[in-house]
Amino acid sequence: MQNKIKELKSILGEVSDLNYASAVLGWDQQTYMPSGGAEGRGRQLATLARLAHIRFTSDEVGQLLEDLEPYAEQLPADSDDARLIKVTRREYDKSTKVTSEWVSDFANETTLGQSVWEKAREKSDFSMFQPNLEKIIALRRQYAEFFAPYDHVYDPLLDDFEPGLKTAEVKEIFDNLRPKQVELIQAISEKPQVDDSFIHLEFPDQKQWDFGEKVISDFGFDWNRGRQDKTAHPFTTSFGLDDVRITTRVITNLGGSALFSTMHEAGHAMYEQGFPASLGRTPLANGASMAVHESQSRMWENLVGRSYAFWTYYYPILQAFFPSQLGNVDLETFYKGINKVEPSLIRVESDEATYNLHIMLRLELEIAMMEGSLAAKDLPEAWNDRMNSYLGITPQNDRVGVLQDVHWSGGMIGYFPTYALGNLVSTQLWESIQKDLPDLEEQIAKGHFGELLGWLRDKIHRHGAKFEPQELVQQVTGSKIDAASYVRYLNKKYKAIYNL
């Protein structure tokens, strides 16, 4: 059996290499590729996606899995090989339902779609992107049909990002969470607003960049195995265990934008950098799910990066970077300002109390598009209506409205719920971390993050994709994904800031 497991890993390594090559081309497309290269890049990515799919769904892989499954039953259930066979079987069964032609078409259309989205966003004109989105929606519906019968048409898409989770489960979690967040937001709205005017001064781009790099270096981001570049919409991608790329965007008159984006993406990257070498070039060299992935990024961005303890140490350093902007702003004012709760148009710039409402809005729109009750041409109006209903504000143009996110242009329908789920998981993990590291706040206040990162390495990172998300969260925290810890966190934090 050792020869067969070795043979399986060899094939999986080839598939992994093809996917990493696609990731290089995708990264380049969003960072350095000239706009005229989109059509050719689409063909290249389509070819690589088709070849990877053909290799992975071959009869050879199917036979190896069939031969190895009795062997896996004899191994400890949580061993690397047993989990590799189980996870590969799951992905194989899904992938063999999908045609190579669809995989190629999807890669091509989403590459072109992202290029058109960038231009449409720049011109704030949804009509430019509408034809591309219509094709992408049609492809995603076609994808769902590969898995019929299903409980809900959105289930196969959600499963790509959140293995084992159903649409009905996500709706139930959100339905429980929504009224509690609305109640908190309402209570805050009745209190005097905090001052954040200092955030909207001019902060030189390079200094923003340099401060962000200092912070994530202290976090533990490994620059020997990663780098950062600029892009229109921040993202993280991996070309292997030793080459993880992050991106950020710098907005001159929004002081925290680049920093919090950099911290967020570094959280993703440190997760990827924490996978053990033994899982390399296999399906296990991945996050347990996007919710678990987002729990890492939201933890470093918010639970660490927006905490009072963090700024006890870093605020004097930030003031030294920006003396004219922040020299006369005290720590208390700064801390409250960066945690200001106010309905806003842009998801990635929104505060912790309102953020999940942005996600719930997008989930409703995605479900409606997949069910066929919402046409692409009606998306801007539906977006604006829900923004007004959920947050009491209406976008003045498509750029800050329906075109603000890159996800739909990349075909990532099913991804958005994982952001809110990641928020919930982050606080569940945080409560467990605080029990194991009772002096965590004191460590953060000294700029020490080694024990925190070590805890995450041991409890989360080293497992890669060996466990499904609910299984991993249960194993580490004692319960499946739920909203209780997040509600506790928000209430405690904002009661102090707003004197509720």
Q: What is the pLDDT of residue 232?
A: 84
The four Cα atoms 216, 222, 226, 232 give a dihedral, to 10 degrees, of -10
Residue with the two structure tokens 């290799």: 55
> What would the two tokens of residue 351 be?
């505060």
- Catalytic residue selected from 169, 265, 366, 468: 265
Pair 175, 320 in one domain: yes
Classify 448 as helix, strand or coil: coil
Chain centroid to CA 336:
26
Q: What is the pLDDT of residue 1?
A: 80
Query: Looking at the domain assignment, is residue 325 inside a domain?
Result: yes
Question: Which range marks the domain in which residue 144 is found?
Answer: 2-149
> What would the two tokens of residue 101 be?
């032609």
Query: Looking at the domain assignment, is residue 160 inside a domain?
Result: no
| Measured distance CA(112)–CA(41) in Å, rounded | 8
Query: Looking at the domain assignment, is residue 51 inside a domain?
Result: yes
Question: 102-105 long-range CB contacts below 8 Å, 24 or more apart?
Answer: 102/139, 102/142, 102/143, 102/146, 103/49, 103/50, 103/53, 104/46, 104/47, 104/49, 104/50, 105/46, 105/139
Q: At what angle do helices 352-371 and 484-498 cross, to 10 degrees?
A: 140
Which amino acid appears at position 448 of this protein?
Answer: H
Task: Tell me if 297 sits within 8 A of 264, measured CB to CB.
Answer: yes
Q: Is the dihedral of CA 316, 318, 323, 326 positive or negative?
A: negative
> What would the two tokens of residue 103 be?
């995989």
Task: Tell me if 306 sits within 8 A of 489, measured CB to CB.
Answer: no
| Residue 478 CB coordination number (10 Å) | 10
Query: Looking at the domain assignment, is residue 154 inside a domain?
Result: no
Instruction: Please tell me the total count of domains within the chain.
Output: 2
479: enclosing H helix or E strand? none
Tell me the CA distances in angstroms from 481 to 175, 238, 322, 363, one per residue in order.
14, 26, 40, 18
Pair 24, 107 in one domain: yes
Query: Looking at the domain assignment, is residue 157 inside a domain?
Result: no
Pair 7, 79 in one domain: yes
Pair 186, 138 in one domain: no
Q: What is the pLDDT of residue 175?
A: 94
Pair 215, 349 in one domain: yes
Q: What is the pLDDT of residue 255?
A: 87
Pair 114, 201 in one domain: no
Query: Looking at the domain assignment, is residue 443 inside a domain?
Result: yes
Pair 115, 209 in one domain: no
Pair 232, 367 in one domain: yes
CATH number at residue 449: 1.10.1370.30
| Measured distance CA(194)–CA(333) in Å, rounded | 8
Q: Is the dihedral of CA 106, 107, 108, 114 positive or negative?
A: positive
Task: Tell me if 258 sits within 8 A of 251, measured CB to CB.
Answer: yes
Pair 220, 302 in one domain: yes
Residue with the two structure tokens 């899995």: 65
Q: Which of the listed residues 149, 183, 207 is the one where a domain comes to its end?
A: 149
Q: What is the pLDDT of residue 356?
A: 96
> What would the two tokens of residue 202 be?
């001019």
Q: What is the pLDDT of residue 77?
A: 94
Question: Could you give the residue ranges of the DSSP H alpha helices within 322-437?
Answer: 323-326, 331-338, 352-371, 379-391, 417-436
Pair 86, 175 in one domain: no
Pair 64, 186 in one domain: no
Pair 137, 209 in one domain: no
DSSP state of 349: G
Query: Looking at the domain assignment, is residue 155 inside a domain?
Result: no
Give Cβ neighbours of residue 445 (< 8 Å, ≥ 6 apart). 309, 310, 312, 313
Task: Tell me if 28 sits within 8 A of 38, measured CB to CB.
Answer: no
| Measured distance CA(172)–CA(482) in Å, rounded | 10
Cis peptide before 192 (omega within 30 of 0): no
pLDDT digit string (tens) for the chain, length 500 residues = 889 999 999 999 999 999 999 999 999 999 999 989 999 999 999 999 999 999 999 999 999 999 999 999 999 999 999 999 999 999 999 999 999 999 999 999 999 999 999 999 999 999 999 999 999 999 999 999 999 999 999 999 999 999 999 999 999 999 999 999 999 999 999 999 999 999 999 999 999 999 999 999 999 999 999 999 999 889 999 999 999 999 999 999 998 889 999 999 999 999 999 999 999 999 999 999 999 999 999 999 999 999 999 999 999 999 999 999 999 999 999 999 999 999 999 998 899 999 999 999 999 999 999 999 999 999 999 999 999 999 999 999 999 999 999 999 999 999 999 999 999 999 999 999 999 999 999 999 999 999 999 999 999 999 999 999 999 999 999 999 999 999 999 999 999 999 99
Catalytic site includes residue 301: no
Q: Which of the listed residues 149, 182, 198 is the one where a domain comes to its end?
A: 149
Q: Which of the listed residues 116, 149, 182 is the one where a domain comes to its end?
A: 149
The count of C-alpha atoms lying within 13 angstroms of the C-alpha of 347, restricted to the half-sphere facing its C-beta, is 23
| Measured distance CA(283)–CA(22) in Å, rounded | 16
Residue among 156, 169, 268, 177 nearest 480 (CA): 169
> What would the two tokens of residue 284 be?
């296990």
Q: What is the pLDDT of residue 233?
A: 84
Query: Looking at the domain assignment, is residue 80 inside a domain?
Result: yes
Residue among 181, 468, 197 nearest 337 (CA): 197
Summarize the chain as % helix, strand, coil (round to 5). Answer: 70, 5, 30
Task: Tell me if 354 sits within 8 A of 423, measured CB to CB.
Answer: no
